[in-house]
Chain A
């Protein structure tokens, strides 16, 4: 590492590390944007609620019960959030494994999004733990609960965060001007990508496998032994829909950072992703039908939950699939974006159906999140977006790499 340190100081013209960091830490841009005006009060309120939660216990903030121990913070923040972060492993698979160079310009921003999503959703997991100081137990010491799916998921979260940090690290090296470090870190990309895809396969499905033991607790329309496969397949188009959605926003918000070439190629990228979404959604729809028939679930269809199930399958899987297909054929970018939004709503509905709505659906007292749980969830999302904006404004994420870093 000493080599890279030398390169670091040299490249900054002997400017000290401290003054560089101080300069970079200062806010850039306007302070009174609509996003800031909305997010700052929410974040302040959310932090107060988090303090109350740790001082008085989970019951002071959440509506969790003895029968429904996992609520919005797990079902939405962790399970849904990680599905949306799936774009990173799909895009790196396409670019580094399949060598589809067309998508290279969105790798960095997608990996950054994925990395931050994991950091913050794992963070949300800490808020939900009764004894968060013991979170290191499954990582160190002799307390390996190896027969636990959660053990696997926890380790994979940790390892995947490291893999994504390595994938993103060349951008950090370019930011601080560490040439040699960048070279070393770039050389690690392929290894990190391969590890990352393997880990993603297992923990995307693992999040579904968490619920396998809750056999009688989840409504039969959403419980099947296929949950892990369904979760994995849906994470592909969930992640890509997020990439399409998030891409169209950041190409507006950070428009000045993006080269003309990338601006032009962006429509082509969205168009190509629509095709991948169509195919994976078709596979997913087919699997859902298979799980339905396999589970002999006909009798549930004409119930309240059955109607809700059909809304999910037809309105939020089949409809966006057809939209993706149609807009791909017609090259209609706007329609692709609309399809991606419907898909994302569908993923939220699906994950909440398994984890919250369908969980103990027959209980006397249903679980509904409190407004406090929702504010804390928004706080987590807003803080993530603040950090994302901070990084994009400083590091070469969307803009092209500095001249020395091109190879």
Chain B
């Protein structure tokens, strides 16, 4: 096989392009270099009385429509967040009586939505809240496909649609204030703080009151850890939680694929060019004649 300068440069060019493109495509999900602990919120369902105060605080803080006064938590009916409300309270009838549960974005440590977002509109801040940025989003809704909790909601009836989801009151947190729902909760069911401290606090509550609590902190390990942590008097299946989620971060599911991209980008062109050279008719004829 003879390799002249032209073909050599061609191969070099292809490899160069491949490596340039390949480098960008690594599966990044963990922030390196910052060992800062994320902020989070601990929700203690044994304290919540289902007053829906948090729903009102949330709607006012984010300029969403006022909650419907008739729409209260009812056993057997799952109220869901939607494009008009980022946080809802549900009630479940359990072996230990009625239990209220607040639902909103879980603020995963390694969020699937942020890994899915091709414009970084969905973004895990260094402080912990997962935020959505209007000017970057192109409305592809891949975050909604990827989120294991179906959290991001899309404004289907708008010509300039936004994604609505809890952002842990990112603007307030930046100013050192508490998230609106935490500040407004009269029952102190919500606690804001560093995730590490919240886990210690949750453990303390379980240890001091083993009869009251079910011995599990939802969100400590689920989907690789979440910013929102839950305490419950009963197993979490009883209060509508998705307990079939993995205990590892969801972005890991696409990691294998994304890691294979740079190698294919480097190997494929070289192999293809090689086969092309080997199968060209001229080449095969001379080989036979030479032998």
Contacts and interface: CB of A to CB of B under 8 A. Distances in A.
Interface of A: 54-60, 62, 64, 66-67, 69-70, 93, 96-99, 125, 128-132, 134-135, 137-138, 143-152, 154-155, 190-191, 193-195, 197-198, 201-202, 205-206, 209-217, 225, 228
B96 interface: no
25 contacts: A56-B159, A57-B155, A57-B156, A58-B154, A58-B161, A97-B272, A130-B138, A130-B140, A134-B135, A134-B136, A137-B136, A143-B120, A147-B115, A147-B258, A149-B116, A150-B142, A152-B261, A190-B10, A191-B14, A198-B268, A213-B146, A214-B146, A216-B242, A216-B244, A216-B245
B27 interface: yes
A70 B24 contact: no
A62 B156 CA distance: 9
A162 to B, nearest CB: 12
B67 interface: no
Contact of B82 (A58, A66, A70): A66
B6 to A, nearest CB: 10
A125 B140 CA distance: 8
B19 to A, nearest CB: 12
A215 B116 CA distance: 14
Contact of B254 (A193, A213, A216): A213
Given A198-B264, A202-B261, A209-B257, A150 B139 contact: no
Given A149-B257, A194-B14, A214 B269 contact: no
A206 B156 CA distance: 27
B26 A134 contact: no
A65 B221 CA distance: 29
A210 B142 contact: yes
B141 A70 contact: yes
B94 interface: no
Interface string B246-262: 10001101101110010
Contacts of B153: 66
Given A66-B153, A150-B116, A202-B261, A130 B137 contact: yes
Given A99-B280, A214-B145, A58 B156 contact: yes
B80 interface: yes
Contacts of B114: 147
Interface in B255-291: 256-258, 261, 264-265, 268-269, 272-273, 275-276, 279-281
A215 B275 contact: no
Interface residues on B, range: 35 or more
Given A54-B159, A198-B18, A217-B145, 19 more contacts: A56-B157, A69-B154, A125-B140, A129-B140, A130-B138, A145-B116, A147-B27, A147-B115, A147-B251, A148-B118, A150-B116, A152-B261, A191-B10, A194-B269, A197-B272, A213-B253, A215-B148, A215-B246, A228-B257
Interface string B130-174: 000001111111101110101001111111110000000000000
Contacts of A197: 268, 272
The residue in A67, A125, A130, A205 that gathers the most chain B C-beta atoms within 10 A of its C-beta is: A130
A73 B246 CA distance: 30
B125 interface: no
Contacts of A58: 154, 156, 161
The residue in A58, A70, A198, A215 that gathers the most chain B C-beta atoms within 10 A of its C-beta is: A198
B58 interface: no
A5 to B, nearest CB: 25
